[in-house]
Structure 1
Amino acid sequence: MAEKIILTADLYDNALTEKKGDYVAKAAITGTLRNDGIADRIVAKRTEYRRETIINILNLADEEKANAIAENKSVIDGVGQYLLSILGSFDGEKAPFDPAKHKLAVSFAPGKFLRELLKLVEVQTRPASTGPVINSIIDSTTNELNGQLTSGSAAVIDGANIRIAGDDKVVGVFFTKTGGAAKKCPLLIHNNPSQLTVMLPALENGEYTLSIVTQYATSNKLVKDARTYTFPVVLYVGAKPGDDDRPVIE
């Protein structure tokens, strides 16, 4: 029997409706897991395979799955099914594919094991924090969600109470490389409570964490001390460490 899983969901006021007391739930992200982390979980179950062997097999499986998806094969594994799709409209039946207007994407449908596991998840709701909360970041160059960033490019950050306000020497949007110092975004293109568009600083290849520091509070009021929120998802510039520039499935 699967171990009980507790999912924490934050309740936010629904900005899309005027109904009083109408809230929407957003699951709180608990971190990022890559193949080395998956291998650690398998090793913890006392498998006879070495950790390095497991990581190598997982990496090879990822590569072959990605290649098969790029070949427009329907790929089904123990998690779900992956299908290639084409986004964008075409002008006429003989219109060519235009990378400026069209994009290849991958859709995902959960498999039986995941669907059954989700039925066992216990959801516990709580009022959302009044401080800043980051829900996602999209790289404007690649349109990738919560993943790869492009150095010096624009990015869109969604969340709640994330408007940057207060002492400019303290507040801002920061990217911190693992083991390095924080770099502040040099430009805020849009600065709204629920969405920021920022220009990323020059970032070296590697893993990064995203943090927001602001004195903004609801109703455009400022709090005395700046509050910090760090996005729990690990982001990266360049190839994912250990991925050897392999294709990435979104």
Structure 2
Amino acid sequence: MKKEFKFRHRVKAYLYPNMLTASPNDFSARTISERSMSIADICESAVARGGAHTTAAAMEANAILFFKEMAYRLADGFSINTGYFLASTNIKGVFESPTETFNKEKHNVSFQFRQGEIMRSMIPDIEVDLLGVAETGPFIGQVFDVKTATTNDTLSPGHILKLAGSKIKITGNLSDIGIFFIALADGIKTAVSIKEVATNNPSELIFIIPALNAGDYEVEVVTQYSGGGAPLKSSRSSILNKVLTVM
């Protein structure tokens, strides 16, 4: 008799319209994050589950030392392979001749991470619970930074950003309507001036990115767009589930 396989892990997801295919009947799954965990949270979880053989504080201190040294080596051009993930430096931007030198105004250095063999080996143990099609409302599928030609990655203030999705047309007169960049460091929102929005369609927004300090951001669309007819009485919002970085 074949032994029944039992999953050790579980993730939940909703279905959203797929922006990358032509069929309106295609969907893509978007996972629901239970919550964001810090290094301290992970260490406390490891000790609580058992088998850590140390204190949460000691584990956190060692983890911070590890990541500091890893970041230092990455910044010197080393590649990292922890088994759990691979990391390396990456240069973005166009060099217009073989003799052109690196220019911070045109080119960016970033770090890229990929899953390692240990993480890949855990995938068969994950069960996915699809919770159906997400509640109808605005949905940001992806953003494209024209200057760096990157998708869901980089932000270039003062340059064009293309945002694709569904029901994202900026409509309504409530005070919270608009396009916003949310700084992850402090939660401060920076609004996009409506004068800088060149295209305002249900499936696409094209606009100039406002002045932003270096750091990580989320992009949010808040609208009363109903899909046709009168605007909604209250606003609805969507936040892209990717972190965008200003170098």
Shift of 1:128: 3.6
Residue 193 (structure 1) aligns with: 202
Give the conservation status (yes or no) of the 8 Å contact 1:172–1:213.
yes
Q: Following the alignment from structure 1 to structure 2, what is the Cα–Cα distance between the partners of residues 162 and 182?
A: 22
Give the one of 204, 228, 234 matched to 2:236: 228
Q: Following the alignment from structure 1 to structure 2, what is the Cα–Cα distance between the partners of residues 116 and 174?
A: 38
Number of residues of Structure 1 aligned to a counterpart in Structure 2: 233
Q: Following the alignment from structure 1 to structure 2, what is the Cα–Cα distance between the partners of residues 136 and 106?
A: 20
Give the conservation status (yes or no) of the 8 Å contact 1:137–1:155.
no
User: Cα–Cα, structure 1 residues 194 and 127, in superposed 2: closer, same or farther, change >3 Å?
Assistant: same
Q: Following the alignment from structure 1 to structure 2, what is the Cα–Cα distance between the partners of residues 99 and 227?
A: 39
Give the conservation status (yes or no) of the 8 Å contact 2:11–2:32.
no
Residue 129 (structure 1) aligns with: 135
Tell me the TM-score normalised to structure 2 length.
Answer: 0.67
Is 1:25 equivalent to 2:24 in the alignment?
no
Shift of 1:52: 2.7
List gaps (5 residues or longer) in structure 1: 239-247
Is 1:57 equivalent to 2:62 in the alignment?
yes
Structural RMSD (CA) = 4.5
Q: Following the alignment from structure 1 to structure 2, what is the Cα–Cα distance between the partners of residues 201 and 92?
A: 30
Letter in 1 for 2:28: A
User: Cα–Cα, structure 1 residues 224 and 9, in superposed 2: closer, same or farther, change >3 Å?
Assistant: closer
Give the conservation status (yes or no) of the 8 Å contact 2:17–2:24.
no
User: Cα–Cα, structure 1 residues 102 and 207, in superposed 2: closer, same or farther, change >3 Å?
Assistant: closer
Give the one of 81, 98, 118 matched to 2:86: 81
Give the one of 9, 18, 40 matched to 1:36: 40
Shift of 1:216: 0.6
User: Cα–Cα, structure 1 residues 155 and 36, in superposed 2: closer, same or farther, change >3 Å?
Assistant: farther
Shift of 1:117: 1.5
Q: Following the alignment from structure 2 to structure 1, what is the Cα–Cα distance between the partners of residues 119 and 107?
A: 31
Within-5 A mapping of 1:1-250: 3-14=8-19, 16-17=21-22, 19=23, 21=25, 23-30=26-33, 31-46=35-50, 47-125=52-130, 126-134=132-140, 159-173=165-179, 185=191, 187-188=193-194, 189-190=196-197, 191-196=200-205, 197=207, 212-218=221-227, 220-229=228-237, 231=239
SS of 2:232's equivalent? strand
List gaps (5 residues or longer) in structure 2: 1-5
Tell me the TM-score normalised to structure 1 length.
Answer: 0.67
